[in-house]
Amino acid sequence: MSGNKSSGVRYGMVIDIDKCTGCTACSVACQQENNVPFREDETNKVRSITWMEIYQLDNGMPYPEYRQAYLPRLCLHCGASPYPPCTFVCPVNATHRDEDTGLVNHIPVRCIGCRYCISACSYHARYFNWWDPKWPKPMEEMLTPNVSPRMRGVVEKCTMCVHRLQLAKDRAFMEGRSELEEGEYVPACVESCPAKAMTFGNLLDPDSEVARLAKSSLAFRLLEKLGTEPKVYYLSSQDWIHKLADKVM
């Protein structure tokens, strides 16, 4: 973890690459849950917005030694102390880390579109809105009511479905509880994974499944040498995937 103050909660994720089939269910669920806009022609990936990107990896060997894997990449919600790189460069404090949860949030209505955070992000996990969001008329009635669409000229990124956290807290409050139980707050991507390759929870809770998996000998983090302290861990039993972790982005 990092040296920042702790509330006893640091939400994070573990993704088992050996289980991931590359089905993109997590990416589709993310798009739907968070009202991520799309265009009729998505071939220009420089202009598209995909909070959950699925990378295809291979070991570079010829058949029959050829091996392939899929790596889902979302915002890694870096825990670097004192600040993650993206938050440090923002001139209007539109992005910050919530020290109660460890989640790196972004406030679109405060964003001025300078895109410094995009340049500072080591994982290419932030996106700029080049156009106002637009959906086919039937889809406009199916948007998630708890997530505001972002306007043209601002940056956006994965929030770990923070609106679900707030809803879980509201339910707990109504039940007279001050703390959430494991499994009450789960992002859409984790919930949708048919292979159960994704685990989410409090990394500081030694009894949580996510904390146990993060300490596995098979666990690694992307570009860990940069010291960004990402709170998304990956699992793999394949050495070639571990070796790619420092240059996959």
Per-residue pLDDT tens for 209-244? 999 999 999 999 999 999 999 999 999 999 999 999
- Beta bridge partners, 127, equal 156
User: Are the CB atoms for 135 and 37 separated by under 8 Å?
Assistant: yes
- Beta bridge partners, 220, equal 234
Whether 2 has a pLDDT exceeding 50, the answer reads no
Global model pTM greater than 0.75: yes
- Choose the CATH number for 11-244 among 3.20.20.70, 3.30.70.20, 3.30.200.20, 3.40.1390.30: 3.30.70.20
Q: How far is the C-alpha of 25 from the C-alpha of 195, rounded, in Å?
A: 10
Neighbouring residues of 136: CB distance < 8 A, sequence distance ≥ 6: none
Model pLDDT for residues 150-184, shown as the tens digit of each residue: 999 999 999 999 999 999 999 999 999 989 999 99
- Say which amino acid occupies 6: S
Burial class (CB in 10 A: 0-12, 13-18, 19+), 179: exposed
pLDDT, position 35 = 96
